[in-house]
Amino acid sequence: MNCTACGKEIYPGSRFCSNCGQAVVAQPFQPVKSRLYRPRNGRMIAGVCAGFSQAYGWDIVPVRILLAVFVFLGCGTPILAYIIAWIVMPDEPYFIPAQPYTHPVAQPAPPSSQQPST
């Protein structure tokens, strides 16, 4: 999806355009959490576990423990599934994390002396 104001691509889940600050209109047919990709940070091997845990809101630690248990019990089949997921899941797209738009002009520092509230 692209920004309605400047046309720049907006990362799914962002509430504001990272380029111009335009508020993003919510699109109900584009669920944010279901996007599956391998994050660039927090990978242990290829980021498959991290991708699943991020996409579905799971904790990363039990996902990795479960995979390790499955690898131990499955005698190689989970490793094959992991490699398939590695191939199928795309890399995380580069994006600027959604954050409040700050104007590039230097802002005056707020006064440090606070008035006593009486």
Site for Zn ion, rule CB under 5 A: 3, 5-6, 17, 19-20, 22
C-beta of 3 vs 49, nearer to Zn ion:
3
Contact indicator for 31, 57 with CB cutoff of 8 Å = no
Give me the least distance between CB of 15 and Zn ion, in Å please.
12
Give me the least distance between CB of 20 and Zn ion, in Å please.
3
C-beta of 3 vs 50, nearer to Zn ion:
3
Give me the least distance between CB of 11 and Zn ion, in Å please.
12
**Torsion over CA of 36, 40, 44 and 48, rounded to 10 degrees?**
10
C-beta of 26 vs 75, nearer to Zn ion:
26
Give me the least distance between CB of 25 and Zn ion, in Å please.
12
C-beta of 6 vs 80, nearer to Zn ion:
6
Amino acid at 24: V
Contact indicator for 6, 13 with CB cutoff of 8 Å = no
Question: Distance of CA 86 to CAs 2, 16, 37, 44, 51, Å?
Answer: 28, 31, 9, 12, 10
Contact indicator for 98, 14 with CB cutoff of 8 Å = yes
